Amino acid sequence: MSWNARRNALAALVAAALLLTGCAGAAAEPTASAGQTRQITDVEGTVVEVPVDPQRVVTLSEPTLDAALALGIEPIGTVSGRGQSTVPNYLADLAGDIPILGGVAQPNYEAIGAVDPDLILVDGTSINNNPPVIEALRHIAPVVYTGYAGGPWRDNFLLVADALNLADEGAQVVADYEAHVADAAAALTGYADDTFSIVRWQGTSASVILKELPPGQALVDLGLQRPADQDRTGRGHSEPVSLENLETIDADHIFFGTLGGSSVDNRAAGGSAGIEDAAAALAEAETVPGFTDLQAYRDDAIILVDGSAWTSTGGPLLMNRIIDDVVAALS
């Protein structure tokens, strides 16, 4: 085990100990016993006893927050979006008033306990299958692990729906998305031979979003092609590109965004993700040797996007947003 892994495990165990000794007050014990419960099986095969009608849900990732909101459930607490100090930018209108209980990679156990949840939803984009962290959270409330980083968003979403006892409603949300995709694809038939790159730009370097992340899955759903170097799955996050290989981000069209600003050590710094931030990142990219030689740049085919939606992760609200963005950009 690496030092970082040992440090994270130790921090989680310390947090659990604090909760058990009373730092979180009444939240030190699971609260689901107040009402009727049912059993579900999470993505890891763990059987979890959850409330039949959860009332105090905490979501610890973008996909679980997105999924809950798509099902009409407003969590009592969540974590900041990746690279941001607030909820994900694309969910700000729906979730801007939800209390922040730490960062996506570093939940605040005491804050989570203090809000007294009856259900906690996590996934591999946040907890990343860290047993000590999950164990610490299970001392607060039932924990459902809903999906892996880079896993199919539909599976993650439907497991959230099951945990919330809203399986039928979840199936309808997915069906509505499929209908949305079909309508959008019919409007984009003129782009069958074009290629589309998805780039996240930070400072003087690029990363590419591959096919396993939600934006990549959206392009697959729409039948849009990727450049040869991006026509593959990755490891569940954006993949850095060296300046020597900058030409590999080129395509007939580039969806171009940025995401960052805050960090685990400095969450108050504020993230940057919106269209204006993408425009500022493009101005930085133009100073990097080789960027203005890209065919997409010369053809004025760089499409600025909100990085919180396009270069991170989420659920059906994000997927529908991306589909709308593609249609708006190409219609």
Residue spans per domain, the chain: 3-167, 177-330
Same fold, 3-167 and 177-330: yes
The total number of residues shown for the chain amounts to: 331
The structure tokens listed for 235 are 């490891």
Q: Please give the residue that has the higher pLDDT: either 263 or 48.
A: 48
Query: By three-state DSSP, how is residue 177 classified?
Result: helix
Give CA angle at 195 (314, 213), nearest 5°: 20
| Least confidently predicted of 78-87, 158-167, 177-186, 250-259 | 78-87
Instruction: Say which residue the tokens 């040869």 belong to.
Output: 228
Confidence of residue 209 (pLDDT cuts 50, 70, 90): very high
pLDDT for res 105: 80
- Fold classified for 3-167: Rossmann fold (3.40.50)
Do the Cβ atoms of 190 and 327 come closer than 8 Å?
A: no
Residue 311 DSSP SS3:
coil
Identify the top-confidence range among 205-214, 227-236, 291-300: 291-300
What pLDDT is recorded for position 188? 95
Say if residues 142 and 48 touch (Cβ distance below 8 Å). Answer: yes
| Confidence tier at 30 by pLDDT (50, 70, 90) | very low
Query: Which pLDDT belongs to residue 149?
Result: 85
The domain defined by 177-330 carries CATH number 3.40.50.1980: yes
So what's the pLDDT on residue 312? Answer: 84
For residues 200 and 148, give the distance between their C-alpha atoms in angstroms, rounded to a whole number.
21
pTM: 0.85
pLDDT at 263: 34
